[in-house]
A and B are shown apart, each in its own frame.
Chain A
């Protein structure tokens, strides 16, 4: 059995293996371990002995089967200590002179691996002087003077804000989502040479040492700026999701919006699925809030129990999110979800809608689109993929008594944040259903989560909506389709090409529909039925919202 060597540096400190202490607690600034007052969990022992065992490669074979392991408890944020720097051949490089400070890259990263900071010019200069001279010029050159923070900041406060984007090399999986969402050519992928990695590690360390952003330069009304604040990084890097995972981004953004208002005073009940696998692969946990998991089918029921207990304890003000995917919410756990809505209790549901059972290998769910090639609706000679129509959980939820409902995507940042904040402000049951790209099952590249989510909305595959019971006494008053293109028309007409963008265009762009096109590119009858299904669904929403 291997034991922790005496005098070994803490995993939360620099070491020979991690000389710049990149694998450490805190996202924008360093922090200590988060202790818990429970006799059954010793956070320091867990991190120093058990996490070390896995980081050094002997955990599974040599750690004793003691009570710490048997209880399956994992402290908050242990994923911060995980090193992913070896898994991708490339890493993004920041080009400060092109950056506008839009924060899209920071927001859309599924791994909390690209981070932003803004400091007043004087404090920035002062802090630079504390950096070893050998690294100062290299680090200084990585800050930018953007119109958003420097020019506008100067007008507002008398001094410009210096802005920086950095990549955490220990958490980046090289998906290139950040490069894809950057409209300003301020990021590009480069090979991970020794020199590139030393600079990235050093830069990440200096970034954390610079301290927190200056709040004077962060607008509270600009939702996309929220990730400049440490309290929003409730979902740390180090989760085991696939490169570019759309679910990872959705969870991060949901956590950010909740953390912005409630800090770490809230919790999550997660239904088994991909989301529980990559956020609780022992001993790594990316969440900084209480999190629990039971089964596929009982998360809403389980949450009702937790809610009751929290209310008994006087924790009525603490939000409780229930997270699940297609199986948990559309299918095997559907009755439990309906029961939650009917309860009228103050519970918030977050659905990671991948239109497939991603975790178990890509079987059809009732949320799969007509024609989708899945492992339970394989495209063959007799049947061309799934033959049923997609079930619409948002419409079903709307028909429950006094239930807040939103359908959104991470590519529509403002709509997403408003949906989540609206759900939390509502004093009853709420559901936010989020379109999440599953790269391997959808058949799209690692960098395509945002682009495909936007196309899903543009082509009526997945319309945006918010149904807020507080907005009026009719469905028409409660339901808003704001955010969808061409709200009153059938299909979106692309302004550049003047051509309709339909579900067929969406299908052409993803591998899961590729067998529906013949050699000449003509869509199959099944796919034309899918197109009609999406149009009818859209028209129904328009009718409910009073737009038809």
Chain B
């Protein structure tokens, strides 16, 4: 896995700054494909494999929920904090608005 194009160091209580950082994925990355979330970091990956990373927050943390929502990841908030045997959780980010509400022809 290649190095992320941009990183952000999360600090507790500074959720807004992390959300602002993730907004950049909309124009600096292509269509998002996955979110990978470790115990201590979150990586947002596009269809080309390019990525942004937020360091210092992971799936055990409460603040991971709004961050994952910000990138439209499909996950169950009831189990997102559960421990796993693998290194990271992989969550798809391909959900869009139905009825073409977000499409302009």
Contact = CB atoms under 8 A, between A and B. Distances in A.
Interface of A: 90, 176, 179-180, 185, 188-189, 361-362, 373, 375, 439-448, 451-452, 496-499, 504-505, 508-512, 514, 520-522
Interface string B45-84: 0011100000000000000000000000011111100001
Given A180-B33, A451-B94, A440 B76 contact: no
Nearest to B99: A362
Given A189-B48, A498-B85, A521-B76, A447 B98 contact: no
A505 B31 CA distance: 21
Contact of A445 (B76, B84, B89, B96): B96
Contacts of B97: 443, 511
Contact of B98 (A180, A446, A504, A512): A512
A180 B46 CA distance: 10
24 contacts: A180-B33, A185-B49, A188-B49, A189-B30, A362-B98, A373-B98, A439-B96, A441-B99, A443-B95, A443-B99, A444-B95, A444-B96, A445-B31, A447-B31, A447-B33, A451-B92, A497-B86, A498-B85, A508-B75, A510-B98, A514-B95, A520-B77, A520-B78, A521-B75
Q: A-B pairs with the 8 shortest C-beta distances? A: A440-B100, A443-B98, A521-B77, A511-B98, A448-B94, A509-B74, A508-B74, A188-B48
A302 to B, nearest CB: 31
Nearest to B33: A180
Contacts of B86: 496-497
A521 B78 contact: yes
B76 A441 contact: no
B103 interface: yes
A375 B99 contact: yes
B48 A511 contact: no
Contacts of A180: 33, 47
A522 B77 CA distance: 8
Given A445-B31, A496-B86, A497-B84, A440 B92 contact: no
A447 B94 contact: yes
B46 to A, nearest CB: 9
Nearest to A504: B76
Q: Is the interface of B mostly helix, strand, loop or mixed?
A: loop
Given A362-B98, A451-B92, 14 more contacts: A176-B31, A176-B47, A180-B47, A188-B49, A189-B47, A443-B98, A444-B94, A447-B33, A497-B89, A499-B79, A508-B76, A511-B97, A520-B77, A520-B78
Contacts of B85: 498
B74 A445 contact: no
Nearest to B46: A189
Nearest to A523: B76
A61 to B, nearest CB: 21
Contacts of A189: 30, 47-48
A362 B98 CA distance: 9
Contact of B103 (A440, A442, A498): A440
Given A90-B30, A440-B100, A497-B86, A509 B49 contact: no
A442 B95 CA distance: 9
Contacts of A185: 49
A179 B99 contact: no
Nearest to A444: B94
Nearest to A443: B98
Contacts of A522: 78
B86 to A, nearest CB: 6
A430 to B, nearest CB: 33
Contacts of A179: 47-48
Contacts of A188: 47-49
Contacts of B77: 520-521
Contacts of B96: 439, 443-445, 511
Which of A445, A496, A504 lies at the interface centre, i.e. has the most chain B CB atoms within 10 A of its CB?
A445
Contacts of B49: 185, 188
A34 to B, nearest CB: 32
Contacts of A90: 30
Contacts of B92: 451, 509
Contacts of A520: 77-78
Contact of B95 (A498, A504, A510): A510
Contacts of B103: 440
Contacts of A441: 98-100
Contact of A509 (B48, B78, B89, B95): B95
Contacts of A362: 98-99
Contacts of A510: 95, 98
Contacts of A496: 86, 90
A366 B31 CA distance: 32
A334 B75 CA distance: 38
A2 to B, nearest CB: 27
Which of A176, A443, A512 lies at the interface centre, i.e. has the most chain B CB atoms within 10 A of its CB?
A443
A514 B89 CA distance: 21
Contacts of B47: 176, 179-180, 188-189, 447
Nearest to B90: A496
A522 B76 CA distance: 8
A512 B31 CA distance: 19
Contacts of B48: 179, 188-189
Contact of B31 (A446, A498, A508, A514): A446
Contacts of B90: 496
Contacts of B79: 499
Given A179-B47, A440-B103, A497-B86, A514 B98 contact: yes
A225 B22 CA distance: 41
Interface in B28-46: 30-31, 33
A252 B17 CA distance: 47
A188 B49 CA distance: 8
